Each structure stands twice: as C-alpha cells, then as structure tokens.
Amino acid sequence: LEFRRVLFRSRSKYRLGIDAGGTFTDFVLADRSGQIRLFKALSTPSDPTLAIRNGLKLISDEIGESPEEIVSNCDLCINGTTVGLNALIQHKGGKTGLICSAGHEDSIEIRLGHKEDGYRYDAEYPAAEMLVPRYLRKGVRERVVSDGSIKTPMHEEDVRAACELFKKEGVETVAISFVWSVLNGKHEIRAAEIVRELMPNAILTVGSELYPQVREYTRTSTAVTNAYLAPILRRYVSAVDSYFKKLGAKYPVRYFQSNGGLAIGQAMTDRSVYAINSGPASAPQAGLFVCEPFKHKNVITVDMGGTSFDITLTKDGVTNVNKNIDFLRYRIGVPMIQVETLGAGGGSIGWIDSLGLLQVGPQSAGSDPGPACYGQGGKDPTTSDVNLVLGYLNPDGLLGGRLPLDKKKAEQALKKVADPLGISVERAAYGMYTIVNNNMVNGIRRVSVERGYDPRDFVLVGAGGATAAHITALASDMGIKTVILPKLASGLCAFGQIISDVKYNYMATSPERLDNKLAYGRIDKLFKKIEKQGIAHLESDGFKKNQIVVKRSMDMRYVGQVHECTVEIGTFEVTEKTIGKIIEAFHKRHEELYTYSERQSTVEIVNIESTLYGKVDKPKAPKLGRGLPLAKALKGNRNAIFSADGKAKKTPVYDGSKLGAGAKIIGPAIIEEITTTIVIEPGWTAKLDHSGSYVITNKSL
C-alpha cells in the first residue's frame, strides 16, 4: 500500500471507523452526503479480524454492496483497538529482554521507591508484575554522564553476551535503555546495531528514540512496555492490513493512537505503546463535535460499553493530555489522552463480599460467555441483566432483535445476590444499578472535582451502548443539568476516529536555564530539527505543507524544583525578544496548577515537544429531518422500576427510529434506538435536535 493523501475525494464514497471493544466492535460508515450508519458485532478477542469480517457483512447486507466494494471505495479505514490494552492487562505480551546500563537492571522494579496512590502504606499490597523477568535484564558496562560526555566506553562483549542469552531463551523483542542516552545516544545506537546483527528477527526498541526525554526510569519503563506490546501489535496490524488489502483498499489502514490522532500501521508497530488507550482516546473529539451546535466547550464524555466505563474531560475545548503516568502499574512517558477507566460495563458482575455486602465489578462477563440474559452460557448477574429486569431493556432483544434476551435467565442469575441478602430480585437489581452508578459517579469526580473542576459547569455527553440506560441517573448524582446523547452514542468512539487527524509527537531533551541568552538559539534549532523530521514524515504520507499544523510545548520548572510542568507555546522563533512570552506562559501555567508563581526565580527547560498534525478532510455533519408525530412513535408501555422499593411504573416506550427533529419526551420514558436504549428518569425531558442528538435536561438541578 503506497502512502497517498487521505482526502474524502469525489471518487471515494465512504469513510469507515472501527472501534474494537471488550464486548462489541463498533462500525461507523459515513458517506459524502453526510449520512452516517452505525453497526455492531460481537468482539472476537482470539481473532480480531473475525469481528471485522462480521461487521463488514452487516454493512454489506444493509447497503447492498460487497465488502470489497465498500473497502475499495473508502478514503479512510480507521481502526481503534484494545489489543494492546488487553495484552497489558492480561500480561500476554511478547517475551522481552532488556539491555541497560550495568547496575540499573532493577530500576524498573525499584520504581523510584514509589507505590501507587492509595497503597503507599499498605505493606500487603503486592509488587507489580515485571514485564521483563530479572534473568532477562542484562547490564552493559558503559556510562554517559549528565553533560553528555562518555565516562566509560561501552563493552560490546556485554551486549553480545546478552543477545546469546536472549536467543537461547526465545526472546522475541528487545528494549535498550542506557543512562543519559538522551544527551549522547552513541552507545544505544551501537548496541542496537549489535542486536540487529545477532538477532535479525527480533523487534527492537531503543529508549532514546522512542522517548528522548530526561528521567531514566520513565524512559526505560516506556521502552520495556513498548517492546512487550510490539509483537502483539505487529501481528494484529499485519493481519488487519493484509485483510483490507485483499478487499482492495486503495489507502493504508489508519490506527487510532492514545495521543488522540491517527497513524499508519508501521508507526503503531514501532511505537506500540501509543496503542494502549487507542479506543477511548477518540471520545473527546467526538464529544466536542456533537456539542458544537450547542456551543458547549466544557464537556465530560462518558463511555459505558460491555466491559469498562471510560471518562474524559475537556475544558474550554482542550482535552487534558497526560505524560509520565502510571498506567496499569507501569510508568508510561509518552503523551496519552487523559482517560479514567473503571471496571463498570454492561458485563460487570454482581457479587457478595466477605462482609455480606453487595458489590459490582470490576470482573466482567465480557462477550464470552457474556451476561446471563444473552443465553450464551453466562450464569452470573451482570449490569445488562439488571437493566433487563428493571424494565429498561426490550425483552425481545437488542440490536433490532438480532441479539435476543432471556429475562428468566437474568432473574435466575440475580437470585445469586438476592437470596443471600434476603430481598426480591427486583430490589437486588435496583441495588446493583445504584452501586454501578455510584462507581461511575466516583470516577467522574476523580476527573473533575479532584482536579479542581466543578462538574456542574460541564455538559455530560453519553457514548457507548450501555451508557444511555444510566446517563440521567449519573447526571442527577453529579448535579449536571444538561446531557447530550447522540443517536450514534453506542459508536461514538468509532465516529470520533473518522473526524480525527493524523498526529505524531516528536520530543527532545533540552536542559537549558533561561537566564542564559546562548540557550535561545539552541532551543530554536532543536525545535526546527525535530519538526523537520515530522514534516518529512507527513509529506511522505501525501500531506502538503498547508495541510500540516505544528504545536509546540516545553516541560519547564523553576531551578531547584524536582518536577516540571508542560507549557504550551506558540510556533514563533525562540529569541531574546520572544523568550519573555515563554517565561510568562510558564508563570501563568504554574499558577493554574499550584495557585502560585515565583516570578523572581530563574526558569529552566527540561524537555521540548512538537506535535504535528496532518489535517484530514472531515465528512459532512448529519442533519435530521422531521419524524412521525409522537403518538405514532409510541411503541407501547412497559413496567419499569425507578426506585429502591422495587415497585414498577407503567412507562411509555418510544421507537427512536421514528422520532425526528423537535420531538420532545417527558420522563419517565424509554427510547429504543437500534443500538442503545435511553432511559429518561422522572424529572428529565429529552428533545431531539436536528443534529441527531437528544438534549436531555432537568430544570430542577
């Protein structure tokens, strides 16, 4: 597949976004007219391409075109995947070896002496499982010191000995990380040459190339994580690329990265660590898109799928990006969209703890065997079983009846928690519903209240197939009075992919005090150097210079501080005349984060970063027409439970496919869309906007 400009060309009919979740794989197909279609297929973790084949068959059956015709007429086929995330969660990555500076073999295990927040004083909290066992961490005698000079030349025989051990032990992927390699990478480069010579089939990650930033532990941990995931991502990308090539794809498949942008498959295999949070990273972009008609720029996007609940926060149109964080107990340095993930989904299992208290999650029934009501062998009570018993879900089935539901099996599963508690199945169901909602509310508080944001200043955007059954309850608990729920909510992350740009991050270490005028030219030269690489990369991908956008940032601190903060700056030339703008931006950012600044203190730069975007043409926004009168969209009534006493209320049920712009529904009510069910609790009112989103409000909050 040659690299060519990925435009929504006149000869290209479609754009396809695929988001592979733990339970369902979502497909969004957009065409030039602005029509957007949403499809769902059960995920197939053992063979992810099988879910893609099943999804393309669903699309083919609906639009009357073969998978070959669909793919060959796509300007972009975009894939967001949980393959990397699942491999890290389940510790099923490749067998990895680490080559590091002698004496630093245990840095990834010492972890700067840090325990995760919440467990710092828990002596019984187990140590994190190492991605590289101790016997496969080999030290090399060499030393570069903090000014970049070589104190001890590298002993090449140590690298060769490590390779011989790795070959003997069946190591398939190798990480190299030496102390102060970001200031002088000569030793890492030579070690990489030796590994390629002796282990030509091994996948190689060089720390100073992947993450050229100060902080040895973070760099080494990032390199190890990248190496660990690389074989999994390489096999996945190879399978997906081959499959789409066989279908006649004219352009390379794009993969969604955890930094919020697209990349070609080669970039994902070389930088596998960017795939960790691939799926939910597109949610903020989609959330802003659906809020644009209403001029909302403070957005909390929540995505409840079958396995997890993901939360992102966007303030003034800008989504937080994390660097240097502990993710699943492993330090990751590269930029990642800030996503709070909980084990709360439609498949989350209810259970009784040792104190006799009802709990929900984090364990999940996933897609195999799935919730009990799916009738595929699941026996444990799940959130989906709860929503069926409460009357929220249609007992005739989901996905337009393609996924039948069994209420009796759901009730039987719920007896596992109801009987020990001595309560009815209905009360147990509402208890589980309340607990899972509380778990999600606590997660929303962590990304808002605990970071200094008042959630009442935000709108809540619902994404994911299971969210709509909980969204008004969550908003009520948080005091949020406005909810935006698009008709394509269950596939919102897949939609976010098709409106995203190609994005690459380029970093470099630049330890410079800003009271040194000689530093300004060096900083400017370094920015231009890394941006030249990025521009060349995007131009080879078919982007013209006027389609490339560059954004710069610096990691800065006051001299003497231990930690730095990231400051966004303009793309102007760094000179004695402009350095004042940079220093002032740092003071303001420091005040935002810590409530004070020290304007009398000297400022220093630690690292610099340039983010380069290749702007991709966006499909047209959908526009919803008038639907049937409300009375004709009424399917009937269903008993639904909205209180802890377990008493049911007769609740109107509407067919969402028959509702059009301007439709107004007062709760309690249930709206059944093809891929999601919206529960409008008492006190809430839903109005369908012409943009295709329900605006759900509660004036009493």
Q: Which residue has the higher pLDDT, 90 or 4?
A: 90
Mean pLDDT of the 297-307 span: 88
Mean pLDDT of the 634-652 span: 92
Instruction: Write phi, then psi, for 81 (nearest 5 degrees).
Output: -135, 150
pLDDT category of residue 397 using cuts at 50, 70 and 90: low
pLDDT category of residue 542 using cuts at 50, 70 and 90: confident
Quote the mean pLDDT of the chain.
89
Give the neighbor-by-neighbor strand order of the sheet with 203-206.
Answer: 137-140, 96-101, 173-177, 203-206
Distance CA 139, CA 132 (A): 13
Q: Is the pLDDT of residue 5 over 60?
A: no
- Burial grade of 214 (CB within 10 A; 0-12, 13-18, 19 or more): middle
Tell me the two tokens of residue 578: 């402009």
Residue 417: per-residue pLDDT: 92
CB 403 within 8 A of CB 466: no
Mean pLDDT of the 125-140 span: 93
Mean pLDDT of the 203-209 span: 95
Q: Is the pLDDT of residue 636 over 80?
A: yes
Q: What is the pLDDT of residues 442-478, one digit of tens each?
A: 999 988 888 888 999 999 999 988 899 999 999 999 9
For residue 531, the SS3 value is helix
Radius of gyration of the chain (CA): 26
Residue 364: per-residue pLDDT: 80
Q: Which residue has the higher pLDDT, 552 or 305?
A: 552
Residue 401: per-residue pLDDT: 60
Q: Is the pLDDT of residue 212 over 80?
A: yes
Q: Is the pLDDT of residue 403 over 80?
A: no
Q: Is the pLDDT of residue 37 over 60?
A: yes
Q: What are residue 650's DSSP bridge partners?
A: 639
Q: What is the pLDDT of residues 484-522, one digit of tens each?
A: 999 988 888 888 888 888 899 999 998 999 999 999 999
pLDDT category of residue 363 using cuts at 50, 70 and 90: confident
Residue 12: per-residue pLDDT: 65
CA distances from 369 to 47, 372, 390, 554 (A): 16, 8, 22, 48
Residue type, 170: G
Mean pLDDT of the 617-635 span: 83
Residue 6: per-residue pLDDT: 38
DSSP for residue 253: P
**Residue 153, preceding bond cis, omega within 30 degrees?**
no
Tell me the two tokens of residue 263: 């990349």
Q: Which residue has the higher pLDDT, 195 or 112?
A: 195
Q: What is the full DSSP assignment across 488-506?
A: TGGGHHHHHHHTPPEEEEE
Mean pLDDT of the 395-405 span: 73
Three-state SS sequence of 324-344: CEEECCEEECCCEECCEEECC
CB 84 within 8 A of CB 227: no
Distance CA 309, CA 341 (A): 6
Mean pLDDT of the 428-434 span: 94
Mean pLDDT of the 356-383 span: 85
Residue 367: per-residue pLDDT: 65
Mean pLDDT of the 417-429 span: 94
Give residue for tokens 């928690």. 417
Q: Is the pLDDT of residue 304 over 50?
A: yes
pLDDT category of residue 4 using cuts at 50, 70 and 90: very low
Determine which helix (DSSP H) or strand (DSSP E) holds 16, and give its type and residue range: strand 14-20
Mean pLDDT of the 174-190 span: 96
Neighbour tally for 645: CB within 10 Å = 11
Q: Is the pLDDT of residue 1 over 70?
A: no
Q: Is the pLDDT of residue 665 over 80?
A: yes
CB 363 within 8 A of CB 349: yes
Residue 441: per-residue pLDDT: 94
Distance CA 448, CA 579 (A): 33
CA distances from 512 to 333, 410, 588 (A): 21, 63, 20
Q: What is the pLDDT of residues 679-697, one digit of tens each?
A: 999 999 999 999 889 999 9
Determine which helix (DSSP H) or strand (DSSP E) holds 78, and give its type and residue range: strand 74-80
Q: Which residues contact 560 (CB under 8 A, 6 or more apart)?
A: 601
CB 634 within 8 A of CB 652: yes
Specify the range with the lowest mean pLDDT, choosing from 5-14, 98-107, 270-279. Answer: 5-14
Q: Which residues contact 338 (CB under 8 A, 6 or more apart)?
A: 312, 313, 319, 320, 321, 322, 447
Q: What is the pLDDT of residues 247-263, one digit of tens each?
A: 999 888 999 988 888 88
For residue 554, the SS3 value is strand
Alpha helices in 309-354 (DSSP H): none
Residue 122: per-residue pLDDT: 80
Q: Is the pLDDT of residue 10 over 50?
A: no
Residue type, 459: V
Distance CA 281, CA 142 (A): 39
Angle between helices 471-478 and 425-447 (to 10 degrees): 60
Specify the range with the lowest mean pLDDT, choosing from 206-210, 496-500, 624-628. Answer: 624-628
Neighbour tally for 229: CB within 10 Å = 32
pLDDT category of residue 234 using cuts at 50, 70 and 90: very high
